Amino acid sequence: MSQKNLCAAGSTGGDDRSMLSIADLEIRWNAHRRTIRRKVDQGLIPPPVECFGRILRWSRCVIEQWEADGCPPVRKTTTASTQKDRSPISATQRRCGNA
Successive 10-residue mean pLDDT values, the chain, 99 residues:
43 63 96 96 93 88 95 73 44 44
Output the pLDDT for position 3.
Answer: 46
How crowded is the C-beta side of 2, counted as CA atoms within 13 Å? 3
Q: Which residues of 45-63 are buried (b: 16+ CB within 10 A; e: fewer)?
A: bbebeeeeeeebbbbbbbb
Q: Which pTM value belongs to this model?
A: 0.60
The domain of 63 spans 3-96
Output the pLDDT for position 41.
Answer: 94
Number of domains in the chain: 1
Output the pLDDT for position 72.
Answer: 94
Confirm if 20 and 28 have CB atoms less than 8 A apart.
yes
Helices (H) and strands (E) in the chain — how many of each? Answer: 6, 3
Output the pLDDT for position 25.
Answer: 97
